[in-house]
Amino acid sequence: MNQNSASLVNEAAAIEFIGVDKRFAARGKSAEVLAVRSINFRIARGEVVSIIGPSGCGKSTLLNMGAGLSRPSAGRVLVGGEPVTGPNKHVAFMLQKDLLMPWRTIAENIEFGLELRGVAAAERHAVSQRLLQQCHLQGFDKHYPNQLSGGMRQRAAMARTLAVDPLVLLMDEPFSALDAQTKMILQQDLAKTVASAGKTVVFITHDLSEAAALSDRILVMSERPGTFIQEIVVDMPDRDNPMQRRKHPRLVELVSQLMGLLKLDAQADVH
């Protein structure tokens, strides 16, 4: 946890899960499937926390509950100290797919959430222009999504996510479809943006180096039914500079530790 996060730990958590279970009806079966169990964690305001774990362990299920798109079968989810009972204006979601609307310009896509909230056109325009600059998309406001590269589309998706000024950003493998170089550049942009704005981020990734480079803490999940088996504090400086962190000798040690927890080293030996 960085100093900023530590100083805020006694305030209401930005997001908190208390005793959460989630069950789903199994197709063609009378019994339900337990997806996640006994989930307890709190994330302070301004903290960046990554969640890693095997495929199918319930990582995305946690984000869906955090966003109010799905209700827990047991337990509670709180955002800013308030129970989440449905889609929440204090939470924004960014996915692997940019989901930009092809019939709207980039500026119009960025402004969409503000438009839904009834924000005046002049204010929407001011926000989109600021974020176009911040996300290195200046000059592309009148372009359409099909005129942009994959990396630029993800920049636009990030700008749209930030436009509504959320308390919590939920990010589900947002850079996984990008090439390695573009991915590192966007990681750098994200880190600087959330640090300067003091945003709280819950970040899902399968990329262990990405988790270590971006986070204050890393929560490791078990196989389904997913539960947390370990919390790793990322004891490196420069959270706002992932490229610098990638050069730190501690990063290799953290990735090795995470591989061991996920038993990836044993799987590699088998294959």
| Domains: count for the chain | 2
The answer as to whether 65 is a domain residue is yes
Same domain, 50 and 157: no
In a shared domain, residues 142 and 214: no
Does residue 5 have a pLDDT over 70? no
For 171, the 3-state DSSP assignment is strand
Mean pLDDT of the region 53-62: 94
* 39 is a domain residue: yes
Assess whether 75 and 32 both reside in one domain: yes
Q: Residue 192 domain-assigned?
A: no
Higher-scoring residue by pLDDT: 8, 251: 251
Q: Mean pLDDT, the chain, as a whole number?
A: 90
Give Cβ neighbours of residue 10 (< 8 Å, ≥ 6 apart). Answer: none
CA gap 73, 45 in Å, rounded: 26
Nearest 5°: the CA angle 217, 191, 65 is 55
10 versus 242: the higher-pLDDT residue is: 242
Say whether both 176 and 143 belong to one domain.
no
- Is residue 131 in a domain? yes
* In-domain check, residue 121: yes
The structure's pTM equals: 0.89
Instruction: Using only the alpha carbons of the chain, give its radius of gyration.
Output: 19
* Model confidence pLDDT, tens digit, residues 6-39: 444 446 799 999 999 999 887 766 678 899 999 9
Same domain? 82 vs 121:
no
- Are residues 178 and 262 both part of a single domain? yes
Q: Would residue 79 count as lying in a domain? A: yes
Q: Is the Cα dihedral 29, 20, 233, 202 positive or negative?
A: positive
Are 50 and 173 part of one and the same domain? yes
Domain that holds residue 135: 98-165
- pLDDT recorded at residue 97: 87
Helix (H) or strand (E) holding 64: helix 59-66
